[in-house]
């Protein structure tokens, strides 16, 4: 009987020890990635192709999040400065069991949260909870899904001194410092104080590459007689130089295939083809063989573009002279074929409905077509946003009701663009900036407000810097300073 009791006791002790080991096990980098799969699926920029503003916010926030996670895995990491992030999270319909059908009609929601945790497990849990995502799957990773303080076993519990210890010794209480940092909102001056040195170091390091980029861009534009060379995303300088070198090698190897690019704009993006705006798209993941095919197809693309312009003209005639436009900054990057199908479908619908618009009654107004909307709207810049599935009668009533407001918005847009340019020039000169620009997701009204408030400040830190107006604070890998347009003083 005693042997049996000893065996049972030994088995219990082994179970308790195993549980302690599992509880004390820290989350690895691979485990963190697996645990965050639902989050990545909900916020990945590739799922926001129809929403360029939200896509860009998620891209930038993911970069900062990845940097935070990498720092947590560095040996001896001790800086736990709170990091505020904003993500657009795809909405899910709880009643749907299919992945394809699990997202509600609202599309997405904005979520903001602050990271201030000191280990991977707590950080992962904070992210998932902030986005209202399940944490049950973390149990399968052999880690405790409770917050950090409860997840640690008594085997490696950090020493927690009484408050009197800090008052007697004069040492700083780390918990109190963290709470204080969370209470204090980041201000422009304090952030520049903390990050100026890092930005200057990165900027100086990038200067040779920046000169190389300008040289390559100028030489290729001149050699191919291009109108411009652009990039869809904010890739680093080294990455851009590499892409231009690849294009340069293709020019040397196959000069005959580039004879039809004169006067065109080349955009380095995610896929190859011709864009709805008529620009040549070169996919950054494609090899020269794919690029060569695109250049060889240019004559056919130009023929399709003429048919597309004819369709736009026909739609304009049916809608009283309103101009159909494609605005790159506000619309997804569509291929020429995709945009042509959209126009063709909309034209056939209008032609069959025979709406009674008076010829040229809407001349001077603009409209864009979008396939992911269900109700027409009027943009603050004066153009109509018309869904391809919009009922013709609803479309007619909406345009008639909003025509005068649209003309006023268009006029205000022209005035705002002039004001914005003047303020950018004035700010660049006052602070001796090398460059001042904004992200596409920042509106003209926001840029104007930001520049007006900047001009009231004295900011010697900015001399010779590249300043980007964004939605958050960040130092880019090439030394560009990003500040939110609504920065606090």
Domain ranges across the chain: 26-91+103-138, 225-415
Residue whose C-alpha is closest to residue 207's, from 482, 481, 478: 478
Question: How confident is the model at residue 337, as a pLDDT?
Answer: 94
Q: Quick one: 338 exposed, middle or buried, by C-beta within 10 A (0-12, 13-18, 19+)?
A: middle
Residue whose C-alpha is closest to residue 181's, from 86, 82, 112, 84: 82
Residue partners of 13: CB distance under 8 A and separation at least 6? none
Q: 68: which 2 tokens?
A: 């935070």
What predicted TM-score, i.e. pTM, was given to this entire model? 0.64
The three-class DSSP label of residue 153 is coil
Question: How confident is the model at residue 74, as a pLDDT?
Answer: 67
Question: How confident is the model at residue 13, as a pLDDT?
Answer: 42
Helices 188-224, 237-253: inter-axial angle, 10-degree rounding? 0
What is the phi-psi region of residue 211: left when phi exceeds 0, alpha when psi lies from -120 to 50, beta otherwise? Answer: alpha
The three-class DSSP label of residue 228 is strand
CA-to-CA distance for 419 and 480, rounded, in angstroms? 24
Q: 41: which 2 tokens?
A: 């699926």
Q: 481: which 2 tokens?
A: 């300073």
Parallel, antiparallel or unpaired: strands 265-269 and 108-115: unpaired
User: Is the distance from CB of 473 to CB of 186 less than 8 angstroms?
Assistant: yes
DSSP state of 231: E
Residue partners of 123: CB distance under 8 A and separation at least 6? 32, 68, 69, 72, 115, 117
User: Is the distance from CB of 130 to CB of 113 less than 8 angstroms?
Assistant: yes
CA-to-CA distance for 354 and 348, rounded, in angstroms? 10
Question: How confident is the model at residue 304, as a pLDDT?
Answer: 96
Question: How confident is the model at residue 173, as a pLDDT?
Answer: 62
Question: How confident is the model at residue 108, as a pLDDT?
Answer: 77
Alpha carbon 66 to its chain's center: 14
User: Is the distance from CB of 144 to CB of 156 less than 8 angstroms?
Assistant: no
CA-to-CA distance for 238 and 202, rounded, in angstroms? 13
CA-to-CA distance for 240 and 213, rounded, in angstroms? 7
Question: How confident is the model at residue 423, as a pLDDT?
Answer: 96
Q: 221: which 2 tokens?
A: 């534009």
User: Is the distance from CB of 362 to CB of 322 less than 8 angstroms?
Assistant: yes
List the chain pLDDT tens, one digit each, 489 residues. Answer: 444 444 444 444 444 433 443 344 456 667 777 788 888 888 888 777 667 777 878 888 888 888 788 777 766 555 556 777 888 888 654 444 333 333 444 467 888 888 877 778 888 888 888 888 877 777 665 544 344 444 444 334 455 556 655 555 555 566 665 555 444 567 899 899 989 999 999 999 999 999 999 999 999 999 999 999 999 877 789 989 999 999 999 999 999 989 899 999 999 988 899 999 999 999 988 878 899 999 999 999 999 999 999 999 999 999 989 999 998 877 778 899 999 999 999 999 888 887 778 788 889 999 999 876 778 899 888 999 998 888 888 888 999 899 999 999 999 999 999 999 999 999 999 999 999 999 887 889 999 999 999 999 988 889 999 999 988 888 888 999 999 999 988
- The separation between the first and the last C-alpha atoms of the chain, rounded to the nearest angstrom, is 76
Neighbours of 389 (CB within 10 A): 14
Question: How confident is the model at residue 105, as a pLDDT?
Answer: 41
CA-to-CA distance for 176 and 428, rounded, in angstroms? 40
Question: How confident is the model at residue 26, as a pLDDT?
Answer: 58
CA-to-CA distance for 449 and 25, rounded, in angstroms? 49
User: Is the distance from CB of 279 to CB of 267 less than 8 angstroms?
Assistant: yes
């Amino acid at each position: 009987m005693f042997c049996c009791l000893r065996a049972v006791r030994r088995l219990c002790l082994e179970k308790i020890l195993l549980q302690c080991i599992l509880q004390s096990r820290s989350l690895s980098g691979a485990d963190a990635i697996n645990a965050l799969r639902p989050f990545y699926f909900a916020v990945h920029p590739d799922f926001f192709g129809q929403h360029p503003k939200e896509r860009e916010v998620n891209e930038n926030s993911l970069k900062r999040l990845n940097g935070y996670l990498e720092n947590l895995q560095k040996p001896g990491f001790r800086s736990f400065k709170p990091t505020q992030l904003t993500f657009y999270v795809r909405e899910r319909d709880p009643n749907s069991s299919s992945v394809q059908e699990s997202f509600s009609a609202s599309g997405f929601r904005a979520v903001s949260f602050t990271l201030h945790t000191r280990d991977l497990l707590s950080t992962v849990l904070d992210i998932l909870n902030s986005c209202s995502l399940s944490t049950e799957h973390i149990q399968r990773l052999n880690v405790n899904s409770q917050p950090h303080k409860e997840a640690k076993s008594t085997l490696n519990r950090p020493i927690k001194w009484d408050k009197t210890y800090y008052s007697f010794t004069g040492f700083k209480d780390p918990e109190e410092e963290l709470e204080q940092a969370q209470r204090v909102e980041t201000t422009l001056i304090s952030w520049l104080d903390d990050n100026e040195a890092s930005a200057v170091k990165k900027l100086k390091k990038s200067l040779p590459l920046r000169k190389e980029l300008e040289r390559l861009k100028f030489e290729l534009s001149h050699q191919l007689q291009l109108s411009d060379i652009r990039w869809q995303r904010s890739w680093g300088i080294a990455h851009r130089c590499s892409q231009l070198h690849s294009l340069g090698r293709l020019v040397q190897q196959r000069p005959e295939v580039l004879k039809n690019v004169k006067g065109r704009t080349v955009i380095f993006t995610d896929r190859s083809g011709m864009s709805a705006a008529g620009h040549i798209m070169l996919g950054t993941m494609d090899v020269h063989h794919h690029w060569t095919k695109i250049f060889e197809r240019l004559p056919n693309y130009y023929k399709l573009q003429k048919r597309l312009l004819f369709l736009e003209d026909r739609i304009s005639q049916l809608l009283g002279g309103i101009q159909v436009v494609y605005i790159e900054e506000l619309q997804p990057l569509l291929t020429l074929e995709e945009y042509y199908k959209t126009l063709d479908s909309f034209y056939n619908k209008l032609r069959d409905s025979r709406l009674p618009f008076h010829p040229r009654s809407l001349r001077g107004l603009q409209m864009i077509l979008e396939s992911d909307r269900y109700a027409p709207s009027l943009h603050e810049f004066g153009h109509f946003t018309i869904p391809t599935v919009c009922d013709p009668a609803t479309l007619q009533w909406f345009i008639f009701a909003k025509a005068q407001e649209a003309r006023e918005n268009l006029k205000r847009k022209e005035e705002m663009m002039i004001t914005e340019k003047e303020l950018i020039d004035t700010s660049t000169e006052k602070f001796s900036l090398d460059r001042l620009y904004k992200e596409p997701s920042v509106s003209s009204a926001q840029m104007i407000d930001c520049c007006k408030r900047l001009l009231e400040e004295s900011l010697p830190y900015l001399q010779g810097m590249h300043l980007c107006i964004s939605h958050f604070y960040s130092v880019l890998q090439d030394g560009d300073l990003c500040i939110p347009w609504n920065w606090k003083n």
